[in-house]
Structure 1
Amino acid sequence: MNSKAKQVSLWERIKKQKLLLLMTVPGLVLTFIFKYIPMYGVLIAFKDYNPLKGILGSDWIGFSEFTKFISSPNFGILLANTLKLSIYGLLLGFLPPIILAIMLNQLLSEKVKKRIQLILYAPNFISVVVIVGMIFLFFSVGGPINNFLSMFGMKADFLTNPDFFRPL
Structure 2
Amino acid sequence: MNVPTTASTATGSPKSSLLRSMYRHRRLYVLALPGIVYFLLFHYLPMWGVLIAFQDYSPFQGFVGSEWVGFKHFVDFVQGDNFIKLLGNTLMINLLKLVLFFPAPIVLALLLNEVRNALYKRFVQTIVYLPHFLSWVIVIGIYSLMFSSTGFVNELVVMFGGTAKKWMMMPELFQITIVLQNIWKETGWGTIIFLAALSSVSPELYEAAVMDGASRWRQLWNITLPSIRPTIIMLLLLQLGHILNTGFEQIFLMLNPLVLDVGDVFATYVYREGILQGDFSFASAAGLFNSLVGLILILGANKLTKKLGEEGLF
TM-score, length basis structure 2: 0.46
* 2:124 pairs with 1:116: yes
Q: Which residue of 1 aligns with 2:168?
A: 159
Deviation at 1:161, TM superposition (A): 2.2
> Given the superposition, is the C-alpha separation of residues 66 and 127 from structure 1 closer, same or farther in structure 2, using an over 3 Å criterion?
closer
Return closer, same or farther for 1:12/1:132 CA change in 2, 3 Å cut-off: closer
1:61 correspondence with 2:157: no
Deviations 1:76-115 (Å, cap 9, x if unpaired)?
2221112112222333442111111111222333343333
Paired amino acid for 1:62: G
User: Residue 13 and residue 84 in structure 1: after superposition, are their counterparts in 2 closer, same or farther (change >3 A)?
Assistant: same
1:18 CA drift (Å): 5.3
2:110 to 93, 102, 112: 102
CA gap 1:45/1:149 in 2 versus in 1, 3 angstroms:
same
Q: Give the residue type in structure 2 aligned to 1:7.
A: A
- The normalised TM-score by structure 1 is 0.79
1:143–1:51 distance in 2 versus 1, CA, 3 Å:
same
User: Distance in 2 between the 1:126 and 1:28 partners?
Assistant: 27
Change (3 A) 1:73 1:125: closer
The residue identity in structure 2 corresponding to 1:157 is K
Higher relative contact order, chain-length normalized (CA < 8 Å, sep 6+): 2
The CA RMSD over aligned residues, in Å, is: 2.9
Aligned amino acid, residue 13 of structure 1: S
Q: Which amino acid aligns with 2:81?
A: P
Higher helix proportion = 2
Structure 1 stretch displaced more, 114-123 or 22-31:
22-31
Q: How far off is 1:152 after superposition? A: 5.4
Instruction: State how far apart, in whole Å, the 1-side matches of 2:113 and 2:120 are.
Output: 11
- CA 121–18 in structure 1, closer or farther in 2 if over 3 Å, else same: closer
After superposition, the Cα gap between the structure-2 partners of 1:8 and 1:95, relative to the gap in structure 1 and judged at 3 Å, is: same
What percent of counterpart residues are identical?
35
What is the 5 A alignment of 1:1-168? 7-10=10-13, 11-14=15-18, 16-17=20-21, 19-20=23-24, 24=29, 26=33, 30-150=38-158, 151=160, 153=162, 155-165=164-174, 166-168=262-264
SS in 1 for 2:149: coil
Structure 1, unaligned runs of 5 or more:
none
CA gap of 1:80–1:145, structure 2 versus 1, over 3 A, is: same
Larger radius of gyration: 1
Amino acid at match of 1:167: G
Cα separation, 2, equivalents of 1:99 and 1:22 = 41
Structure 1 SS opposite 2:169: coil
Uncovered stretches (5+) of structure 2, i.e. residues with no partner:
175-261, 265-314
